[in-house]
Structure 1
Amino acid sequence: MCGRFVLALPAAEMARVFEAAPANDLPDGPRWNVCPTTQVPAVVAGEGQRRMVSMRWGFVPHWYEKPNGGPLLINARAETVATKPAFRDAARQRRCLLPATGFYEWTKDEDDARLPWYFHPADDGLLAFAGIWQDWGELGATCAIVSCAAGPSMEAIHHREPVTLAPEDWPLWLGEAEGKAAPLMRAAPEGRLLRHRVDTRVNSNRVEGPELIESIDG
């Protein structure tokens, strides 16, 4: 799964990488501890050019009577995203890319304390999470990150990981190219992601700063 991530680049630079026209209300960056229910940049297909827009991380199905009218849906499982009532229409019609420079995952020690790990691309570039979105009332667009079974970079830490898409797959996921998007929902190949332990300060959603991604592996 993915419950926290990092955006170490300004919105303008991310828009350049994704060849997208940035909206005026994108959240400020960089951000070192992006949490659910906050606004995040998302890339969607547009008429002639992609757009980078602001979305609330935490997908709200159209039938919720209020934003907290059901579970907080920050992730959507790849295995059921096309059939689960909350997600199936979005999986067919409303897909997006969610930029990140890295993300956090946790293990536990013998005392059940949460130990955070930071995952980032081996080439220090940008990640593109596979996402889906849904408009909901005063919240505007809300989104979830698609997750899949853990691959070689993640399986020792957690049994799930966010689906990360290579640049050549972005047009297919966004519906800009013909073809089936389902085969893209797979784990990152071996070597794409690196990881290291980081300080437990990141466990608090109130803490920010570049020091959160610094290695404490020794």
Structure 2
Amino acid sequence: MCGRFALSMPSDAMAQLFKAAPANDLPILPNYNICPTTQIHVIYRESEQDKGQRRLVPMRWGFVPHWYKTPSDGPLLINARAETLAEKPAFREACRARRCLIPADGFYEWFRPEGGEKLPWYIQPSGEGPMVFAGIWQTWEQNSERLTTCAMVTTEATGRMAEIHHRIPVILQPHDWGKWLGEEGHGAARLMQPASDDSLKFHRVGKAVNSNRASGPELIEEIEE
């Protein structure tokens, strides 16, 4: 799974990169310890009826199914498994009609050596540009409360990543952004593959990131193993 990530790109640069109209209430950046249930930057595509424009907006990280009576009425759904995305009642409609992009600099994952404590790693792109996760989104409403929420799509990890954790977010390359957003017809399901080792780089980081209150760029600095 992915439970923490970092993002430092300014919102206006993101809007330009993704060719998306930005909202006025985007979260403050940089943030090197983005945690579940907080508002995150998300790019989605409006319906054709609404001109089909890309929008850069805040969404709560933690998908809330429409049948929840409160946002905490069931499990916290920050990740959605690619293998069952089209079948799970919570996700299947969003999988077809409400896909989104979630930009990041990189993400954290924890590995527990045999007999030892969990140690945090930072995973980021090996090349230039942001890391972009495949996501799904949904607006939840009950009485007077309304939340727009999202989850990251994950898949089985391979290669070096599998040595750290068995799951990895689905990472989309720029030429796949439009297809995932539904701008280029069918075929989004074929994008739900693990990233190759040569597209990622990995390093150990300090245990300060274990706290959801920690902040600052020092969280992503490499330490000696």
TM-score range, shorter chain: over 0.9
Per the alignment, residue 20 of structure 1 pairs with 20
Task: Please tell me the root mean square deviation across aligned C-alpha atoms, in Å.
Answer: 1.2
Q: What is the CA distance between 1:208 and its match in structure 2?
A: 0.3
Is 1:82 the counterpart of 2:86? The answer is: yes
Question: 1:118 deviation in Å?
Answer: 0.2
Q: CA deviation at 1:151?
A: 2.3
CA–CA separation in structure 2 for the residues paired with 1:15 and 1:30: 15
Runs of at least 5 residues in structure 2 that lack an aligned partner in the other structure? none
Check whether the contact 2:8–2:30 (CA below 8 A) recurs between aligned residues: yes
| Segment drifting more, 36-45 vs 148-157 | 148-157
Q: Counterpart of 2:14 in structure 1: which amino acid? A: M
Aligned to 2:122: 118
Q: 1:197 aligns with which of 193, 197, 204?
A: 204
Equivalent residue number for residue 41 of structure 2? 41
Choose between structure 1 and 2: higher helix proportion: 2
The aligned counterpart of 1:174 is 181
* Residue equivalent to 1:72: 76
Classify the secondary structure of the residue corresponding to 2:163: coil
Equivalent position of 1:213 in the other structure: 220
Alignment correspondent of 1:56: 60
Q: Structure 1 residue 11 and structure 2 residue 11: aligned?
A: yes
Give the TM-score of the pair, scaled to structure 1. 0.96
Alignment of structure 1 residues 94-109 onto 2, 5 Å: 94-109=98-113
Contact 1:153 1:193 in 2 (8 A): no
1:128 aligned onto 2:128:
no
Q: Deviations over 1:4-46 (max 9, x none)?
A: 0000112111111111111001101000000000000100113
Query: Displacement, 1:152?
Result: 2.1
What is the deviation of 1:139?
Answer: 4.4
Contact preservation (8 Å) 1:128, 1:166? yes
**Letter of the 2:24 counterpart:** N
Question: SS where residue 60 of structure 1 aligns?
Answer: coil
| 1:106 partner SS | strand
Q: Helix, strand or coil for the counterpart of 2:208?
A: helix
Q: Pick closer, same or farther for the CA change 1:217–1:97 going to 2, 3 Å.
A: same
Q: Distance in 1 between matches of 2:109 and 2:82?
A: 18
Distance 1:153 1:12, change over 3 A: farther
SS at match of 2:15: helix
Q: Does the aligned pair in 1 maintain the 2:107–2:124 contact within 8 Å?
A: yes
TM-score computed with the length of structure 2 as normaliser: 0.94
Unpaired segments of 5 or more residues in structure 1? none
Between the two proteins, the alignment pairs up a number of residues equal to 218
- How far residue 166 of structure 1 moved from its aligned partner, in angstroms, is 0.5
Aligned partners of 2:116, 2:139: CA distance in 1, in Å? 38
The 10-residue stretch of structure 1 (76-85 or 152-161) with the greater mean CA deviation from structure 2: 152-161
The letter for the 1-side match of 2:27 is: P
Aligned pair partner of 1:143 in 143, 150, 153: 150
Q: Counterparts of 2:101 and 2:214 in 1: how far apart (Å)?
A: 26
1:184, distance to aligned residue in structure 2 (A): 0.3
- In 2 relative to 1, CA 133–48 (structure 1 residues): closer, same or farther, beyond 3 Å? closer
